[in-house]
Amino acid sequence: MFKPSHFAAVVLFALFASVVFGITQRETPRRMLHYGIYCFVLFVGSAIVLSWLMFLIAR
Amino acid sequence: MTGVRRCSCPDSGERRNSSHLKLTGRFHLIAMEPMAAPVRYSQVAMGTPENKIAAAAPSQQGFVYLPLIAGWLIPGAGHFLLHKWKRGALLSVSIIGMFALGLAMQGRIYSGAHDILDLLGLVGDLGNGLLFLVARAMDLGTEQVQITTADYGTRFVVVAGLLNVIAAVDAHNLRTGRKQ
């Protein structure tokens, strides 16, 4: 059984989803790479920001 | 003294197709130059509807929906059919990897629709195509495990199916020439 931490699960999710988004939503390889990185940063960044927000709200 | 020089009249800038000459003294001479040939812009590679139709023409042979169906059944197969090897490999690794990780996290595979959330989960799982059928046949993901990673695993499986649908539609767009 695979038991990743919460953050590892977020990173894995963001990685796979960003690869698919990059390939399917852009036409040239360069733009695919840029869009994939952009999506990855947004996925992980938004997860970190929301996590801190929930942490602060819960305190 | 006679001579010819460039006119510095303020309106000379407006006369782009003529050379406005000025003789020394009070006389102006406007010498007309032959009109330049009109520039014809090539529409090759432009996204005009005609070119899109022309670009799509060679790919209209055969069954147009084959990459869509193949891509849905086997992740990345639609791109492989269109000889997009790298894209197909990346899509295949990503979607199958996400599905496998979901199962490894003891994620659940929806088997029936008892309520609206189950129905949505089943629709997402069905996007995995043959992966879903094989997992169902092997009784994978049938037990409900009440741990956090199992919940993540369930989401991984559903999202893998949705991503596979996006990839299959992308293969269809490549096939029809809507995307290059």
Q: What is the pTM of this model?
A: 0.74
DSSP B136-150: HHTTTT-S---SHHH
Which pLDDT tens digit goes with each residue over B124-146?
A: 999 999 999 999 999 898 887 78
Q: Which two tokens stand for residue A25?
A: 């939503």
State the helix-helix crossing angle for B85-104 and A6-25, rounded to 10 degrees. 150
CB contact under 8 A, B149 and A9: yes
How many Å lie between the alpha carbon of B140 and the closest alpha carbon of chain A?
A: 13
**Do residues B68 and B78 make contact, with C-beta atoms less than 8 angstroms apart?**
yes
Query: Chain B window 51-70: which residues touch A at a Cβ cutoff of 8 Å?
Result: none
CB contact under 8 A, B149 and A12: no
Q: pLDDT band at B22, cuts 50/70/90?
A: very low
Which pLDDT tens digit goes with each residue over A36-48?
A: 999 999 999 999 9
pLDDT > 50? residue B15: no
ipTM beyond 0.90?
A: yes
